[in-house]
Amino acid sequence: MVINLEKTHFIYIVGIIIISIISAYVLIVLPHGAPVLVLKLNFFLFGLGLNSTILLWTIGGYLLLRWIKTKRKNTSLLIWSISFFIYSITFVAHIFRALGFPNANENLSTFHFFAWRWGMPCFSAGILYGILLILTENKKKQQIPSVSVLIIGFLLLIIGLFIIPSGNPIEVTMYLFLHTIWIPICFTMAYIFVYYGYKAKETGPKLVGLGFFVLMVSYHGWAPWHFQDVVYLYFIWYFLFLLSLTPILLGFVLMSVEERYD
C-alpha cells in the first residue's frame, strides 16, 4: 500500500486548524450549552441505550462485513449479524423513550412490551444456531435446539403477556422468560463458545463466551433491582450489560484473525 504523504499531511493540517478554531472559541467565549429538557431525567437511559445500540450495530456490522469478505461461505456470520441487529431493537427503543416518544416505552402496555422485546428469543435462537452450524453437520442437531428455543421463547412472551391472568403481566413475563430461556441460553452459549475455543485452541471464541457469561450475570440482576425504589441499582446492572458486549466484539474480531493462521 502506497501512502500519499502530501494528502495525508493536508488532512492533518486542516484537522488541527479546525480543532484550534473550536478550542479558541471555547476558551474565549466559555459557551453555556443549551438545555435539552427532555433528557434532564432520562440522560442515563439515553446514554446506555445509545452505547448499547452502537456496540450491537458494530458487532452486527462487523460480522456482516466478514461474511461478505469471506465470499458468503460462512453462514454462521450472517446469522449472528442478523441476530445482533434484531436484538438492538430493544435498545433503540430506550433511546427514543429517553427522548420523550411515548410509544417507545415498552412498559406502556403488553403490546408495546412485545413489540420491543420480540427480538430477544430471535437473538437467542440465532446465536445458538450459528454456533451449532460450526460444531456439527447434523441438520437435526443444528435445527431442533434452535427452533425449540425460538418457539418456546415466543410462547413464553405470548403466554406471560396475554394469557396468564396477572396484575403485572410484563413483570411475570420477564421473570418467566429470563429465568427459563434467556439466562440458561446465555450460559449455554457461553459454554459452547468457550468449549469451541478450547477444542480449536483459539482465544476469540473464549472471549465471546466470557461476554455471554457477563451478559447472563447482568440479566440476573434485573429481578431483584428493577423495582422503583432500587431502580438506580438496575442501571448499574445495565452498565455491566454494556461491558459484556466488549469481549463479544473483541472475540469475534480475534476469531477472524485466528482463522487466517489456521
Task: Give 75-123 pLDDT, tens digit per residue.
Answer: 999 999 999 999 999 999 999 999 999 999 999 999 999 999 999 999 9
Question: At 229, which CATH number?
Answer: 1.20.1070
- C-alpha closest to that of 248 among 214, 199, 197, 201: 214
Other beta carbons within 10 Å of 19:
10
CA–CA distance, 224 with 156 (Å, rounded to integer) = 20
Report residue 120 as a C-alpha cell: 430477544
> Is there a domain that residue 1 lies in?
no
Residue 203 per-residue DSSP state: S
Is residue 6 pLDDT above 80, yes or no?
A: no
The residue ranking higher by pLDDT, 43 or 223, is 43
Long-range residue pairs from 228-231, CB within 8 A, at least 24 positions apart, any chain: none
Is residue 10 pLDDT above 90, yes or no?
A: no
The per-residue pLDDT for 7 is 63
Per-residue pLDDT reduced to its tens digit, 221-232: 988 898 889 999
> Is there a domain that residue 27 lies in?
no
User: How many distinct structural domains can be found in the chain?
Assistant: 1
Q: Going by C-beta distance under 8 Å and a sequence separation of 6 or more, which residues neighbour residue 17? A: none
Q: Going by C-beta distance under 8 Å and a sequence separation of 6 or more, which residues neighbour residue 136? A: 142
> Is there a domain that residue 166 lies in?
yes
**pLDDT band of 8, cuts 50, 70, 90:** low
> Is there a domain that residue 43 lies in?
yes
Per-residue pLDDT reduced to its tens digit, 123-158: 999 999 999 998 899 999 999 999 999 999 999 999
Its sign, for the CA torsion 218, 235, 61, 124, is positive
CA–CA distance, 155 with 120 (Å, rounded to integer) = 12
> Is there a domain that residue 30 lies in?
no
Sole residue written with cell 429465568: 179
> Is there a domain that residue 16 lies in?
no
Domain span including residue 46: 36-260
